Amino acid sequence: MKKLPAGSATLVLALLLTQALFAAEPKEVKRVLLLYGEGKAHPAHELTDQGIREAFRSNQLFDVQLYPEYLDSSRFSGSSHAPAVADYLRRRYAGIKIDAIITVYPSAIDFLMREKAEIFPEVPIVASQVPRLSAEKLDRSPFRHFLTGVVIGDNSTGLLDGALQLRPATKHVALVAGVAPNDVDGEQIWRNALKPYLEKLRLIDLTKLPIQEVLARVGSLPTDTIILYSTIFKDGKGVDFVPREALTLVSRAANSPVFGLYESYLGYGIVGGPLVSWQNLGKESALMALRILGGASPASLPFGGKRAYINLYDWRELKRWGIPESELPPGSEIRYTEPSLWRDYKGTIAGMIALMTVEALLIIGLVLNLRMRRRAEQALRESEGRVALAVSSAGAGLWSLDMDTGYFWTSDRALELFGFAPDELLDYEKFLRMIHPADREVVRQATQQAAQSGLLSTVDYRVVLPDGSIRWVASRGSFQQSPANGPNCLMGVSVDITGRKQAEEEIDRQRNQLAHVTRVSMVSQLASSIAHELNQPLGAILRNAEAGEMFLHDPSPDLDEIRAILADIRKDNHRAGAVIDRMRALMKQCQTERRRLDLDHLANETVILVRPDVEKRQLRLVLESDPALPPVHGDPVQLQQVLLNLLLNAMDAVGANPPERRLVTVRTQYASSGVEVIVSDTGCGISEEELLRVFEPFFTSKPNGLGMGLAISRDIIEAHGGRLWVENNVAGGTTFTFALPAAKGGEVK
C-alpha cells in the first residue's frame, strides 16, 4: 500500500479532531410528546412510530426525548374517557417542559383541541395523519399559528385506478367498513372516491355489518368483483377488532381480490397498489417538528403529506388471483415472494448459462473462421482477375496520389482521361490546372475532406481538354495505409461521364421547357385576375391625376393636397409595377437558377397573385405561415409554379361548394421530412383510384385541363430533392403537400 504524504496525514488528523470536538459538545435537549389516537398495538402506529424515531435519530441538532402516549379512542369512546385522560396527562406532565407535540390520527388532534389549553398551553403541534377535510378546517382555524400537520394520503382514487388496471373486467365493487368513528370516516372517503366510478361499477355495500355476515357475503360475491377494505375497528355488533386482523378474516373468506389503502395491510390479505406509507408519514411529521424546534413558526409550514405513497404488492395475493407481475406499474416492490432457486440464485445461474453459451459460440466461430479463410483465399485469386477485366472494360482510369509529396501516379487510361499526353509526368498541381476553373475548388475541397474522413466520395467535375472541349469525369477513392504505398496515399478510380451529363442537361432543358409551357397556360387562367389587379392602381392613378388637375384650376391651389396626390400616384405606380414584375417572373423562360430562398415569402407572393381571383370566385383563402421557417435551396420561379398549380387546383375543387364552405388553406411548417408547404381544400376529395393517378401526365378531371400541371409539379419537386404527395382529408377535401430539404446552415438573408 502507498504511504500517504505527510500533508494529507495532517489533514485527516485535523478532521478527526474536529469531529471529536463536535461530538463532545452536548446537544440541546428537546422533549416531544407523541400522542397516538389508537392503542399501542395498532399496526399503523407501530410503523409511524418507527418513521418518527428514525427521523429524530438521524438529526444532528437536538437530543430529542420522546414521550409516547396512546388514547386508544376506538376502544374507550365513552364521554368520561377524554376528561379522564386529560386529567391524567395534566398530572403526569406537571413538571416536564414539552417543546412540541406530534398527534397521530384525527382522534388525537381532536382530543388535544378540546383539552390542550389546560394541559399544554402554547406548545406547537404537528397534527399528523389527518384527513384532507380536517386539514383544510385546521388550516383556516385560529389554532393555525401554533399548528401545522401532515395530511393522510387519501389516495383512494389512485388505488382504485391501480386495482381496475389489474382487474380490467371489474363490474362490481364491494365496500367493507365497520361502525367506529374512524371506520365511518374511512367509509366516507371511499364513498366520495367511488362516486365518479358508479356509472360503470355497481357498489355492493358491506359496511356496518356484523363480521359473520361480512365473511358470508364476501365468499359469495358475483364474478368480476373487487373488494375495498376500509377499516373495521368495531363491527356491526359492537365487537372490537384490530383492523388488519379483521382484514385477514375477510381476505381468507373472500372469492374476489381485496384492496386497501395502507402499507400496514400488506401481508394481511390485500393485493397491493400505491399504498399509504405510515413510516414515510411519520418521518415527514418528525422532520416538521424538527423545523419547529429549530425556530420555524408552525404557521409558516404548509401542510405536508403529498408524497407518502409506495407501490407495494403481495406476491401470494398476485398468485392467488392470477395477476401477472408484468401488469404492475414500473418501480413496484413485491413482497412475500416464495423462495425459489431461480429467484435466489438468479445471478449465478445466468452467469453459468452465459459462460457455456460463450464457450459454444467460440468453438463454432473457430470452425467457421477456418472454412471462411480457405474460401477467401480462393475468392481473392479470382477477384484480382475480375477487377483487372472490369477496370479495362469500363474504361476506368486508376490513380494514386501521395498527399505528402504530391506525387501522382496514373494508369495510361487515367492519363488519357485527364487530357495528358501518354508519357507525361504528373503532379497534383498540374492535374488541378486541367480542371475547369469553376470546378477546381470543388475538387480541391473534396480531396482535403478525403484526407480527414479517409474516403473520397464521388465527385463530378469537368476537364478542359487541350482542344478546348469539355469532358465530364467522376472520381472516387479511399485512403490506403499500407506501407507499400506510403502512409498518406489516396487511391482512386475515374470514369468518363460526359454522356450521362449531357443526357441530364437535356432532361433539365426539356423539363424547363415543359414547365414554361404549363406556367404560361396557368398565367392565361389568371389573366382576368391580373387585369383586375392592374386596373386597381391604374384607376387610382387616373382619378388622382384628374383631381390634381382640378385643384390646379383653383386660383390658389392647396399645395399640400397636390403633394399628397403626387405621392399617392407614385405609390400606385409601384403597385402596378410589382404586378407586372410578378407576371414577368412567371412568364419568362429561363435556365434553372438555384438559390437560397424563403418558402414563406414565396407562399405570400403566390397568394397575392391569386387574391383577386379568390375574391371574384367568393372563396376564402387562409395563409398560415411559419415565419421562422429555415430556407431551402431552389429555383423560385419553378417552386412558385408548383404552389400556384396546387392553389389553382384547390380553388377549382371548392368552386362547386356553397360560398361559406369554399375554403383553401396554405400552411408552411418545418417538419421531420423538411420544409413543408401544405395546400388543403374543402372540396369533394378525390376517389381512391384517382388518387393514385393524379400525378400521371395527361391525367385530368377538368374539361379544358391539359393534365400536365401535377405531373410537372412532381417532376420539379423531385428535381429539387423533395417530395410531393396527396391525401384526402378526414373531414372532406384534399391536401397536397410538398416537402423540400432545408438548406444547410444559417437563416435567410
Query: Which residues form the interface with other proteins (CB under 8 A)?
Result: 528, 531-544, 546-547, 550-551, 561, 565, 568, 571-572, 575, 612, 614-616, 618
Greatest Cα-to-Cα distance within the chain, rounded to the nearest angstrom: 124
Q: Taking the CA atoms of 4, 8, 9 and 13 in sequence, report the sign of the dihedral they define.
A: negative
Kind of pairing between the strands at 28-36 and 100-104: parallel
Smaller CB separation from other proteins, 319 or 617: 617
440: burial class by Cβ within 10 Å (0-12, 13-18, 19+)?
Answer: middle
Q: Is 37 left (phi over 0), alpha (psi -120 to 50) or beta?
A: alpha
- Provide the 10 A C-beta neighbour count for residue 40: 12
The DSSP bridge partners found for residue 596 are 633
Min dist CB 709 to other proteins, Å, is 24
Q: Are 227 and 258 in contact (CB under 8 A)?
A: yes
Smaller CB separation from other proteins, 168 or 555: 555
Min dist CB 531 to other proteins, Å, is 5
Smaller CB separation from other proteins, 333 or 554: 554
Min dist CB 548 to other proteins, Å, is 8
Amino acid sitting at position 365? G
Smaller CB separation from other proteins, 554 or 747: 554
Min dist CB 707 to other proteins, Å, is 27
Q: Are 438 and 447 in contact (CB under 8 A)?
A: no
640: burial class by Cβ within 10 Å (0-12, 13-18, 19+)?
Answer: buried
The DSSP bridge partners found for residue 273 are 312
Smaller CB separation from other proteins, 498 or 535: 535
Smaller CB separation from other proteins, 45 or 662: 662
Smaller CB separation from other proteins, 539 or 721: 539
Smaller CB separation from other proteins, 522 or 614: 614
Q: Name every residue whose Cβ is closer than 8 Å to that of residue 35 and which is 6 or more positions away in sequence.
A: 69, 71, 101, 102, 103, 104, 108, 111, 112
Smaller CB separation from other proteins, 264 or 682: 682
Q: Are 177 and 157 in contact (CB under 8 A)?
A: no
Smaller CB separation from other proteins, 191 or 620: 620
Min dist CB 519 to other proteins, Å, is 23
Min dist CB 620 to other proteins, Å, is 8
Beta-sheet strands, E only, within 527-636:
595-597, 620-624, 632-634
Min dist CB 618 to other proteins, Å, is 7
Smaller CB separation from other proteins, 615 or 696: 615
Kind of pairing between the strands at 470-480 and 489-496: antiparallel
- Provide the 10 A C-beta neighbour count for residue 607: 19
Min dist CB 554 to other proteins, Å, is 9
Rounded distance, CA 3 to CA 326, Å? 53
The CA distances from residue 715 to 51, 671, 696, in Å, are 73, 22, 11
H/E stretch holding 654: helix 636-654
The DSSP bridge partners found for residue 472 are 462
Rounded distance, CA 17 to CA 23, Å? 10
Smaller CB separation from other proteins, 5 or 555: 555
Min dist CB 647 to other proteins, Å, is 17
Rounded distance, CA 154 to CA 207, Å? 19
Kind of pairing between the strands at 455-464 and 489-496: unpaired
Min dist CB 583 to other proteins, Å, is 15
Smaller CB separation from other proteins, 544 or 640: 544
Rounded distance, CA 341 to CA 402, Å? 66
Rounded distance, CA 274 to CA 39, Å? 26
Q: What would the grid cell of residue 159 be?
A: 388505488
Q: Are 477 and 494 in contact (CB under 8 A)?
A: no
Smaller CB separation from other proteins, 561 or 593: 561
Smaller CB separation from other proteins, 188 or 573: 573
What angle, 0 to 180 degrees and rounded to 10, lies between the N-to-C axes of helices 211-218 and 243-253?
40
H/E stretch holding 174: strand 172-177
Rounded distance, CA 718 to CA 739, Å? 10
Min dist CB 547 to other proteins, Å, is 4
Min dist CB 603 to other proteins, Å, is 19
Min dist CB 557 to other proteins, Å, is 10
Which has the closest alpha carbon to 529: 582, 589, 599, 568?
582
Min dist CB 587 to other proteins, Å, is 20
Min dist CB 667 to other proteins, Å, is 20
Q: Are 720 and 639 in contact (CB under 8 A)?
A: yes
